Structure 1
Amino acid sequence: MYGTRQMPLVRHALIPELPGRRTSGPLPWLTTIALVFVAVQLAFVVPGSGLAWDETVYVSQVGGNAPPAFFSAPRARGISYLVAPVASLTASTTALRIHLALMSAAALVVALWIWRKVLPTPVLVGAGALFTGLWPTLYYGPAAMPNLWCALGALTATGWVVRTLCGAAGRAGAAGAGAAVALVALMRPADGFWLALPLALAAVLVPGRRLPGLCAALVGGLVAGCVPWTAEAYAHYGGLVARLHRAGEIQGGLGWNLAVDDHLRALAGRTLCRPCDIGWESPATAVWWVMLPLLAAGGISAARRSGRGAVALLATATGFSTAVPYLFLVEYAAPRFLLPAYALLAVPVAEYIAYLFVRARRTRRPAGVAALALALVAHLGVQFSVLTHVVRTSHATSAEFAAVAGALNSMGVRAPCVVSGADAVPIAYYAGCASRQTSGHDASITPGALRELARRVPAAVLVTGGDAPPPITGGSRVVPLRDYRTYLLPGAATGGASTVPPN
């Protein structure tokens, strides 16, 4: 179907006839998608970009421009390992962005290539184009954030599981699936769990194809990926249970929280919607999102006609599983959270679109083909419009942080130094200072210890709007600085050999 020849590969209760014969190779098409993916990032996302708040935390752990920022309980160090080869050598944001853009494009090709024995080329290429055409995918391609890598890992793991269940993977299937789950767990342990859960169940519940070895590989990959996070829990957080509890507190408490409407509103260009008490600014940006379940259902139905129903069903079920915590358990929204779901749901959606195109052509309905093409062009236009808005907003924010940091440097707050208060984490990074908070999620120092530290190195406390300054600022010199009131703590020097103690 869809211009590809099929041959029987494996037949059993849930996975019927699948394509096992190579057609015109998908690699040139996948390479083209990857090149366009990189080109859009380099042309529209990378130029003039600075590191966002979370990025400064991850990058500072392995180099960059400042001492390591406080690493709160929910975070995992996978993305820090990924950026380390560049961040340890240079503080250049552009170099880091190019590195990540190229890496993400190469990983995309690998992840899709794994599916080549169970999907025809049009569906495979369509899935890649649909996923890379989303504004969150393009925006986070060159970002030092873990979510896109979780998406690519989820796509890879599911591809290996499908191939293994179909008998089209050989010995590499279980190892590949386990390694991909380990990558996701290394980036975000919770995402690794919600990915491994449906895949492991499929490995032991599919009639006629129960593969306990595959299930063991998936569980082993999850455990292996969580080892660094677990070890750090015992080293710095008082144990695994204590870290899980603290991570839940920072995320607002994990429990029943219907965040579907929050995600709808965030699609208009909010990289983080917390609290998400805004109006629905642009409903048109969420039309594709509302249609996604219907398109996926249509894709499953279309795939069944071609003998790939179980493939589309497993991709859909796994995608839904990765979305569950963010739609129903976390009380805020960020479009990046659902990238793993989008990557997997692109498979059944591509099945449905390919089916509609073939049907329109076979019935000689050029109007139908034109309508589908126009709908896809309109969708991409909306995605690009939101992307430009997000890029413009993020560039302005990072430029503001950099300007405040430059002003602090000009006032004598230069490395070694410390910054506390509002937006201290990114501003400290740009200033080359350590960030230390006396309260909140990133609390890492007591007020007395910060006051003592200020006697040895330059220290500044930032306050915004009408917020009252903390008691520690008593007797400090106040300097208005853009949207901040900057309190230079008494005893701040302009240089010296003193260093800021680690967190």
Structure 2
Amino acid sequence: MHECPPMIPRPMAAPGVPGRGPVRPLPALAAVAAVFVIVQLAFVVPGSGLAWDETVYVSQVGGNAPPAYFSAPRARGISYLVAPVAMLTASTTALRIHLALMSGAALFLALWVWRRILPTPVLVGAGVLFAGLWPTLFYGPAAMPNLWCALGSLAATGWVVRSLRGGAGRTETAGAATAVALVALMRPADGFWLALPLVLATGLLPGRRRPRTSAALVAGLVTGCAPWIAEAYARYGGLQARLHRAGEIQGGLGWNFAVDDHLRALAGRTLCRPCDIAWESPATAVWWLLLPLLVVGGVGAARRAGRGTAALLAAATGLSTALPYLFLVEYAAPRFLLPSYALLAVPVAEHLNELIARTRRARRQAGLAALVLALVAHLTVQLSTLSHVVRTSRATSQEFAAVAGALNGLGLRPPCVISGDDAVPIAYYAGCASRQAAGHDASITPGELRSLARQVPTAVLAPGDAKTATATGGARTVRLLHGPESYLVRLLPGPAVEAAEAPGVHHG
């Protein structure tokens, strides 16, 4: 074994370039975080609107509309994070800037945890590799929990590695517990799959058992899950009932081979459900196919450098967080694997750092140039895919906003209710409440919806190619045409019909 004795941490000097001193971690990591924020502000934030899931999370604490129905799988962590801005303003730009700055600070802090374990070039490499992925950049300013799970997972693993290396003091214990609690608060299931390998490592490794750290990790998991569990009993009929309903909404948890789905989704699909599309752009997945080899090589490189435990635990925890999404959930979304990517970036950076060091010692300029070109090509593909995803997302949110504006023009103004196809995001943009009589977000019966329509303006949306429903009992049907999409709007009897028939109302 080439690792340091567990109670005598080995000082980590950064591999230096002849004639230069070691790179200091603070300015280097600050630069990585700053570039991460700048790219978000330049490419992702301008002109962006809130996506479907974001409207659910933001509406819980403010924003533009009453709270949307909060389905069983969701947790409220991201709503707490956006609350300081969402309670003050409905501006999406303000919210995006807030989240971009917060994500940059969180990336810096997560990497900073590792400064006593990894040399600065490896730290910077891990930060660049993770921050340079298009899902990381796209979800940096997004009101979604996955990036925060990723950064919390990276920090938690770093604290545990420090504990295993002989530093199991109050700082390491509290840091590990806090990071796991953050992840569990965002996504309880992610918190479980993160805590599992960490608890096993601190409780079972011969000669490195850290019972205090194990207890802290369990306490952090329970603390982070507590609001979700309490809500299960308050609103869903108990923990088992909520777990069962959450599984139903996610398509039923069980053996589902989704590796190929994630491979195809890397081409720029934020959600692939069902993922029966063609593999549109294989170039976007080259790095993904090479990832297992790079991780294995990185663990070996870290072991030779005396950091094997750190790289191995990062790899094991990264695989644990990926397992449910690769083999238990029947659909794919690139954001699901962000915690895994953040952790696997550590051994990959170890591998690349060793390759660069060997190339320099051998003075193989061609080899060094090839490595640099490969990294540049990888980042170019990521930015190109990001550009595509941003354009698609922006067009979708603009479509939702246009339909919402047309509904306002029909007289559907707050307080109002919208149900049916794409009702959740459109209702948010229109300033209405969304209520569904069927599906995953079912929160009202058809009879209750009709009764509600007699009190406030209420509309039911259907796809534009649906057959025109017969307008009986005073209902009114309007077809909205906006861009490539169209909707069939059924205004239910009550104030909605009265408003639509008022003089001066535009019927699109």
3-state SS, counterpart of residue 183 of structure 1? helix
Q: Is the 8 A contact 1:288 1:379 kept in 2?
A: yes
Q: Could you say which residue in structure 2 is the equivalent of 1:4?
A: none
Residue identity in the other structure for 1:423: D
Residue identity in the other structure for 1:486: V
Q: Is the 8 A contact 2:359 2:365 kept in 1?
A: yes
Instruction: State the shift of 1:479 in Å.
Output: 1.0
Instruction: State the shift of 1:466 in Å.
Output: 3.5
Q: Could you say which residue in structure 2 is the equivalent of 1:19?
A: 11
Q: Is the 8 A contact 1:19 1:120 kept in 2?
A: no
Q: Could you say which residue in structure 1 is the equivalent of 2:448?
A: 449
3-state SS, counterpart of residue 167 of structure 2? coil
1:352 aligns to 2:346 (yes or no):
no
Question: CA distance change for structure 1 residues 145 and 374 in 2, over 3 Å: closer, same or farther?
Answer: same
Give me the whole-angstrom Cα distance separating, in 1, the residues matched to 2:281 and 2:448: 47
Q: Could you say which residue in structure 1 is the equivalent of 2:95?
A: 96
Instruction: State the shift of 1:16 in Å.
Output: 8.9
Question: CA distance change for structure 1 residues 324 and 471 in 2, over 3 Å: closer, same or farther?
Answer: farther
Aligned length: 486
TM-score, scaled relative to structure 2:
0.93
Q: Could you say which residue in structure 1 is the equivalent of 2:491?
A: 488
Equivalent residue runs for 1:199-214 within 5 Å: 199-214=198-213
Q: Could you say which residue in structure 2 is the equivalent of 1:64?
A: 63
Residue identity in the other structure for 1:403: A
Question: CA distance change for structure 1 residues 407 and 10 in 2, over 3 Å: closer, same or farther?
Answer: same
List per-residue Cα deviations over 1:158-211 (Å, max 9, x = no partner): 000000110235321111101100000000000000000000000011111111
RMSD: 1.7
Q: Is the 8 A contact 2:67 2:433 kept in 1?
A: yes
Equivalent residue runs for 1:198-347 within 5 Å: 198-347=197-346
Give me the whole-angstrom Cα distance separating, in 2, the residues matched to 1:311 and 1:38: 27
Q: Is the 8 A contact 2:202 2:208 kept in 1?
A: yes
3-state SS, counterpart of residue 486 of structure 1? strand
Give me the whole-angstrom Cα distance separating, in 2, the residues matched to 1:64 and 1:360: 53
Q: Is the 8 A contact 1:9 1:19 kept in 2?
A: no
Instruction: State the shift of 1:490 in Å.
Output: 1.1
Instruction: State the shift of 1:467 in Å.
Output: 3.7
Q: Could you say which residue in structure 1 is the equivalent of 2:506?
A: none
Residue identity in the other structure for 1:11: P
Q: Could you say which residue in structure 2 is the equivalent of 1:408?
A: 407
Q: Could you say which residue in structure 2 is the equivalent of 1:418?
A: 417
Give me the whole-angstrom Cα distance separating, in 2, the residues matched to 1:114 and 1:411: 55
User: Structure 1 residue runs of 4+, over 4 Å off?
Assistant: 20-23, 468-475
Question: CA distance change for structure 1 residues 169 and 210 in 2, over 3 Å: closer, same or farther?
Answer: closer
Q: Could you say which residue in structure 2 is the equivalent of 1:500?
A: none
Instruction: State the shift of 1:453 in Å.
Output: 0.7
Equivalent residue runs for 1:459-474 within 5 Å: 459-467=458-466
Give me the whole-angstrom Cα distance separating, in 2, the residues matched to 1:16 and 1:443: 58
Q: Could you say which residue in structure 1 is the equivalent of 2:179?
A: 180
Q: Is the 8 A contact 1:461 1:473 kept in 2?
A: no
Give me the whole-angstrom Cα distance separating, in 2, the residues matched to 1:380 and 1:24: 23
Instruction: State the shift of 1:475 in Å.
Output: 4.6
List per-residue Cα deviations over 1:353-379 (Å, max 9, x = no partner): 111111001001000000000000000
Give me the whole-angstrom Cα distance separating, in 2, the residues matched to 1:94 and 1:75: 24
Give me the whole-angstrom Cα distance separating, in 1, the residues matched to 2:216 and 2:467: 54
Instruction: State the shift of 1:25 in Å.
Output: 2.1
3-state SS, counterpart of residue 291 of structure 2? helix
Give me the whole-angstrom Cα distance separating, in 1, the residues matched to 2:274 and 2:437: 23
Q: Could you say which residue in structure 1 is the equivalent of 2:18?
A: none
Give me the whole-angstrom Cα distance separating, in 2, the residues matched to 1:326 and 1:468: 38
Q: Is the 8 A contact 2:3 2:306 kept in 1?
A: no
Instruction: State the shift of 1:303 in Å.
Output: 0.7
Instruction: State the shift of 1:142 in Å.
Output: 0.1
Question: CA distance change for structure 1 residues 366 and 431 in 2, over 3 Å: closer, same or farther?
Answer: same
Q: Is the 8 A contact 1:401 1:426 kept in 2?
A: yes
Q: Is the 8 A contact 2:413 2:457 kept in 1?
A: yes
Q: Is the 8 A contact 1:16 1:307 kept in 2?
A: no
Give me the whole-angstrom Cα distance separating, in 2, the residues matched to 1:280 and 1:10: 46
Residue identity in the other structure for 1:481: L
Q: Is the 8 A contact 1:17 1:308 kept in 2?
A: no
Question: CA distance change for structure 1 residues 147 and 469 in 2, over 3 Å: closer, same or farther?
Answer: farther
Question: What are structure 2's unaligned runs of at least 5 residues?
Answer: 15-21, 500-508
TM-score, scaled relative to structure 1:
0.94
List per-residue Cα deviations over 1:223-258 (Å, max 9, x = no partner): 000000000000000000000000000000000000
Aligned-residue identity in percent = 75
Question: CA distance change for structure 1 residues 469 and 335 in 2, over 3 Å: closer, same or farther?
Answer: farther
Instruction: State the shift of 1:478 in Å.
Output: 1.2
Residue identity in the other structure for 1:158: T
Q: Could you say which residue in structure 2 is the equivalent of 1:155?
A: 154
Instruction: State the shift of 1:480 in Å.
Output: 1.0
Question: What are structure 1's unaligned runs of at least 5 residues?
Answer: 1-7, 496-503
Q: Is the 8 A contact 2:138 2:386 kept in 1?
A: yes
Residue identity in the other structure for 2:476: R
Residue identity in the other structure for 1:329: L
Q: Is the 8 A contact 2:168 2:213 kept in 1?
A: no
Question: CA distance change for structure 1 residues 214 and 473 in 2, over 3 Å: closer, same or farther?
Answer: farther
Give me the whole-angstrom Cα distance separating, in 2, the residues matched to 1:469 and 1:322: 47
Q: Is the 8 A contact 1:62 1:87 kept in 2?
A: yes
Instruction: State the shift of 1:469 in Å.
Output: 7.1
3-state SS, counterpart of residue 167 of structure 1? helix
